Structure 1
Amino acid sequence: MTELAELVLTADERAAGADVDAVLLVLDWSGEDEPGQLAAFAAGRARALGTDPTGVDDGAVRRAAENDPTLERGDLLVRQLDHLSGVLTGLGCALLTVFSGTDSYELLVARTDGREPTGLTHQGCPVLPWGTEPDPALYG
């Protein structure tokens, strides 16, 4: 089983003793603290993990949401996460979510090179690719 730190931390970060929490972005369910925060995080982590983050942007999602009268609080963030997850997958990365039981999104970017990360946990909580729900039988 692959350790989470091997996927989300660079060799230099691991050598320096960095913890997974150092590269974890926590966002309230309602959205970003600042516009562009999520895309900047995803691009920065992709770059750190050795991938060219060209195209890691959520501008099109934001513009489409501006003209959507059905958009409710929290919807934009989910659309951004869906979009960035797909972009990162195309770069050999994955957007991961820590399921800690809070109403926040706890996010990581992992280098996967097309392999589906499985069996990952962080502080006893399941860590899964964005859009995947934890199996209650496995994680209670």
Structure 2
Amino acid sequence: MSSLKFYNEEGAGQQNSDLYHYSQAVVLGDIVKCSGQGGWDPTGKLDANDVEGQVDLAFQNVNRVLQAAGLRGWEDVYSVRSYHVDMDASFEFVVDRFKKHCPDHRPIWTCIGVTRLGLPEMLIEIEVEAYAKKA
């Protein structure tokens, strides 16, 4: 395991890592795997009544974690898994954010409806894999 490099972004990412004993991202050669990112703000606060806000923050959190691991952000993402507590309420917001954050490419995507996520207030969780192009 010593050749693996684990990363956390400052703020909620490091806070969650400390609280729950996991890392936000791991680098495996040219691949970066990002833990599921929820719609928490930089302090870790979740608004259980704001699905659109959680979708926005989850996309921002993915970007921050990828940048902490040395990538550009969503530009490097090739695979996405999204987990939705209420698919009807969040699906279109996620599609809209894909168009905004990935205007020049279309990652593969698996979209899953679930009854609950890790924290009770979470409405969305987004997990990605990205390609770390070597110079």
TM-score category, normalised to shorter length: 0.3 to 0.5
Larger of the two Rg values belongs to structure: 1
Query: What TM-score do you get using the length of structure 2 for normalisation?
Result: 0.36
Name the structure, 1 or 2, with higher relative contact order (CA <8 Å, separation 6+). 2
Structure richer in strand, relative to its length: 2
